């Protein structure tokens, strides 16, 4: 077999197969170039999902005519000097433009602020045309037509125009969140115009442009730092969740990434607060010394590698849990919106034909109205306890009946409906509380605090269980033996390639010790943390809390209901139960007045 040098065109086409996977990949590279050039306005135009046309226009610093020839050469860049460990720009390899030019019809039109006229260069399937003068505004216009026309086999793997256009929209949204001071406009014949005006330093305003105004009302700010690694951003309330992970955004030094370490940490931070199959909404930004993160591990720069992944993961989990503990008793505003829709008459229209008697706007008929006695029963009939009921709550500071409800965020209890829902009056509205879900969360938090404040009771095995593992896994497990002992799991080395399990947590009862040890070994190998055992204990605590809390159908006294409300206000995360469902819904007085047409 003869060894030969590949042609420059073939080299660029191979690079294009790695860097330019689809039109969205090309859009990402071109937008990154515009941002690195200092642009404050970027306009993206597409046609045919980006396969027919992709044009990116910016007002950045531009390029001189002599630089245009270098820009379309492989490995020519102005962003990297000599230190590959000190990368402070989005791009640095100098592969994007020559890769795109080798598989498409590429043209660059650019002018610097000092030049009186611009210059243009074209590349068609790897063939470069001479630079020529051209009229241009300050900045650069990169136009890509007929993407992959030089490699038609790649076109067979493209998705529909709609899917490709949607992927470009997702790229623009991520870039818009990362750079709120830049104005982005996305338009074209294959889409409706998408515009994100610059918001300066108000990052939450830009996030609201992308994720909607609901996120602004249901977001918790995050700002934490540990060992020169800083985490900022916003995390949604647990009850403000979505059915997929498309509303999760992560950035490392301003670079949008899809990193499995960060997604794993995000899931762990919301453990026991979000239902299975639902995903939190979050925008996380990590600022770290470039020397402590490797952004050169993936051709598309979508993955990064941290020098200390355990530190980053712990920072994300700790910061989000602290934020949820600080404001996690809030309920999502979307619950009130759903309640408003349920109250509207059009939401209750029956399928039967309309009749005057069935109209909600029929004339008032005293005979058909509610008996006066039922209207006067009020609080007493709703909240009278049964003869067999026993007090469950004791308020530490009893609230007198005439105390203004505005003294407490969740107000003062006024009634109990259907022996399951507590209605409380607040200063500016009312709150409806699910008594079972609320008490379940209170019990779970108490049990979890007990787990974390002292060692978990352990039960000794009559015959130690021996687990055969690779030597590396044994070393990692033994290094964390002290942590496991606090959780009731006693392990020790048992010769080469084996671990002896001598104690297991008493609250887990009979368990598969071998399966648990193997799971912990896998976690340590991938994340250098072993949270599986703690998660099992917390899951059991959640199950016990569910069965040990106030059941639906249990009548409660007024003082018990008020005590429950006060405990909710003092307990982190009381806005949702252990299964992620909301524990209460708040309806503002303005919403109620709007229902009755008073405002």
Tell me the average pLDDT across 347-362.
48
Tell me the average pLDDT across 319-341.
70
Instruction: Give the CA distances from residue 89 to residues 168, 373, 469, 485, in Å, rounded to whole numbers and listed in that order.
Output: 21, 74, 44, 46
pLDDT in the model for residue 82: 58
Tell me the average pLDDT across 45-64.
94
Tell which residue, 492, 488, 480, has the closest CA to residue 528: 480
> What CA–CA distance (Å, rounded) separates 39 from 60?
4
- Please say whether the beta carbons of 284 and 316 come within 8 A: yes
Please give the residue that has the higher pLDDT: either 391 or 62.
Answer: 62
> What CA–CA distance (Å, rounded) separates 516 from 513?
5
Tell me the average pLDDT across 298-320.
85
Say whether pLDDT at 350 is over 60: no
pLDDT in the model for residue 223: 94
pLDDT in the model for residue 24: 93
At residue 18 the predicted structure's pLDDT band, cuts being 50, 70 and 90, is low
pLDDT in the model for residue 136: 92
How would you classify the pairing of strands 458-468 and 490-493? unpaired
Give the length of the chain.
599
Tell me the average pLDDT across 472-479.
90
At residue 536 the predicted structure's pLDDT band, cuts being 50, 70 and 90, is low
Tell which residue, 208, 71, 206, has the closest CA to residue 141: 71
- Please say whether the beta carbons of 334 and 581 come within 8 A: no
List phi, psi (to 5°) of 86.
Answer: -125, 70
- 162 burial class (0-12, 13-18, 19+ CB within 10 angstroms)? exposed
| Spatial CB neighbours of 51, under 8 Å, sequence gap ≥ 6 | 23, 146, 147, 148, 155, 158, 161, 164
pLDDT in the model for residue 466: 93
pLDDT in the model for residue 371: 38
Share of the chain above pLDDT 70, in %: 79
At residue 291 the predicted structure's pLDDT band, cuts being 50, 70 and 90, is confident
pLDDT in the model for residue 545: 65
Provide the whole-model pTM. 0.69
Say whether pLDDT at 231 is over 90: yes
pLDDT in the model for residue 364: 44
Least confident of 105-119, 133-147, 387-401, 457-471: 387-401
pLDDT in the model for residue 405: 52
pLDDT in the model for residue 330: 67
Least confident of 268-282, 295-309, 461-475, 551-565: 295-309
At residue 326 the predicted structure's pLDDT band, cuts being 50, 70 and 90, is confident
Q: What is the mean pLDDT of the chain?
A: 81
Say whether pLDDT at 275 is over 50: yes
> What CA–CA distance (Å, rounded) separates 485 from 477?
12
At residue 357 the predicted structure's pLDDT band, cuts being 50, 70 and 90, is low
| Spatial CB neighbours of 14, under 8 Å, sequence gap ≥ 6 | 6
Q: Which pLDDT tens digit goes with each residue over 83-98? A: 666 677 787 767 788 8
Tell me the average pLDDT across 519-531.
75
- Please say whether the beta carbons of 116 and 80 come within 8 A: no
At residue 444 the predicted structure's pLDDT band, cuts being 50, 70 and 90, is confident
Q: How many CB atoms lie within 10 A of CB 214?
A: 16
> What CA–CA distance (Å, rounded) separates 52 from 246?
26
pLDDT in the model for residue 250: 94
Q: Which pLDDT tens digit goes with each residue over 27-47? A: 999 999 999 999 999 999 999
Structure tokens at 499: 């671990």
**Residue for token pair 């006695």:** 373
pLDDT in the model for residue 55: 96
| Spatial CB neighbours of 366, under 8 Å, sequence gap ≥ 6 | none
**Rounded CA Rg of the chain:** 31
pLDDT in the model for residue 527: 66
pLDDT in the model for residue 377: 36
Instruction: Give the CA distances from residue 322 to residues 314, 316, 354, in Å, rounded to whole numbers and listed in that order.
Output: 12, 10, 54
pLDDT in the model for residue 543: 62
Helix (H, G, I), strand (E, B) or coil at 433: strand
Say whether pLDDT at 395 is over 60: no
Q: What is the DSSP letter of 230?
A: E
Tell me the average pLDDT across 509-516.
82
Say whether pLDDT at 387 is over 50: no
Tell which residue, 330, 261, 257, has the closest CA to residue 300: 257
Q: Order across the sheet with 458-468: list the strands.
A: 458-468, 498-505, 490-493
> What CA–CA distance (Å, rounded) separates 150 from 127?
11
Say whether pLDDT at 271 is over 50: yes
pLDDT in the model for residue 31: 94
At residue 373 the predicted structure's pLDDT band, cuts being 50, 70 and 90, is very low
Euclidean distance between the first and the last CA atom of the chain, given in angstroms as a whole number: 84
Q: Which pLDDT tens digit goes with each residue over 210-226? A: 998 889 888 999 999 99
Alpha helices by DSSP H, listed for 282-348, are 309-327, 334-343
> What CA–CA distance (Å, rounded) separates 448 from 194?
46
- Please say whether the beta carbons of 106 and 72 come within 8 A: yes
């Amino acid at each position: 077999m003869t060894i030969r040098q590949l042609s420059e065109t073939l080299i660029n086409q191979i690079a294009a197969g790695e860097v330019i996977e689809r039109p969205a990949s090309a859009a990402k590279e071109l937008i990154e170039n515009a941002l690195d050039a200092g642009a404050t306005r970027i306009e993206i135009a597409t046609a045919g999902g980006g396969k027919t046309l992709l044009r990116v226009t910016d007002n950045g610093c531009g390029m001189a005519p002599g630089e245009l020839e270098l820009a379309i050469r492989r490995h020519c860049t102005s962003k990297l000097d000599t230190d590959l460990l000190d990368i402070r720009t989005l791009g640095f390899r100098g592969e994007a433009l020559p890769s795109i030019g080798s598989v498409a019809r590429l043209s660059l039109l650019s002018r610097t602020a000092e030049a009186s006229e611009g210059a243009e260069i074209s590349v068609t399937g790897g063939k470069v045309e001479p630079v020529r003068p051209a009229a241009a505004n300050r900045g650069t216009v990169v136009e890509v037509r007929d993407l992959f026309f030089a490699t038609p086999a790649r076109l067979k793997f493209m998705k529909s125009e709609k899917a490709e256009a949607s992927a470009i929209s997702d790229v623009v949204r991520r870039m818009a969140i990362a750079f709120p001071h830049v104005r982005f406009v996305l338009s074209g014949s294959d889409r409706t115009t998408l515009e994100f005006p610059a918001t300066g330093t108000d990052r939450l305003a830009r996030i609201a442009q992308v994720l909607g105004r609901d996120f602004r009302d249901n977001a918790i700010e995050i700002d934490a730092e540990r060992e020169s690694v800083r985490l900022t951003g916003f995390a949604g309330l647990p009850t403000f969740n979505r059915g997929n992970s498309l509303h999760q955004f992560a950035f490392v030094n301003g670079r949008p990434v899809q990193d499995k370490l960060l997604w794993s940490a995000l899931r762990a931070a919301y453990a026991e607060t979000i239902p299975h199959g639902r995903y939190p909404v979050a925008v996380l930004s990590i600022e770290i010394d470039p020397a402590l993160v490797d952004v050169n591990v993936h051709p598309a720069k979508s993955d990064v590698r941290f020098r200390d992944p355990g530190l980053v993961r712990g920072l994300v989990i700790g910061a989000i849990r602290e934020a949820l503990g600080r404001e996690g008793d809030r309920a999502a505003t979307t619950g009130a919106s759903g309640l408003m829709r349920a109250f509207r008459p059009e939401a209750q229209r029956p399928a039967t034909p309309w009749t005057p008697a069935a109209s909600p706007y029929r004339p008032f008929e005293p005979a058909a109205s509610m008996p006066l006695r039922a209207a006067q029963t009020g609080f007493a009939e709703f909240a009278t306890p049964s003869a067999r009921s026993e007090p469950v709550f004791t308020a530490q500071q009893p609230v007198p009946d005439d105390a203004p409800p505005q003294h407490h965020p969740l107000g003062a209890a006024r009634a109990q409906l259907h022996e399951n829902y507590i209605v409380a009056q607040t200063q500016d509205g009312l709150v409806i509380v699910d008594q079972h879900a609320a008490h379940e969360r209170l019990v779970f938090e108490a049990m979890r605090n007990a787990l974390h404040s002292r060692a978990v009771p352990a039960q000794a095995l009559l015959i130690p269980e021996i687990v055969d593992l690779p030597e590396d896994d044994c070393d990692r497990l033994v290094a964390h033996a002290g942590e496991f002992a606090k959780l009731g799991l006693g392990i020790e080395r048992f010769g080469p390639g084996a671990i002896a399990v001598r104690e297991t947590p008493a609250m887990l009862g009979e368990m598969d010790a071998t399966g648990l040890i193997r799971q912990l070994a896998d976690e340590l190998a991938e994340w250098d943390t072993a949270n599986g055992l703690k998660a099992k204990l917390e899951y059991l605590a959640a199950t016990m809390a569910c069965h040990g809390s106030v059941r639906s159908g249990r009548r409660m006294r007024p003082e018990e209901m008020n005590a429950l409300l006060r405990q909710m206000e003092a307990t982190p995360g009381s806005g949702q139960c252990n299964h992620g469902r909301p524990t209460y819904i708040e309806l503002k007085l303005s919403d109620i007045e709007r229902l009755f047409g008073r405002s």
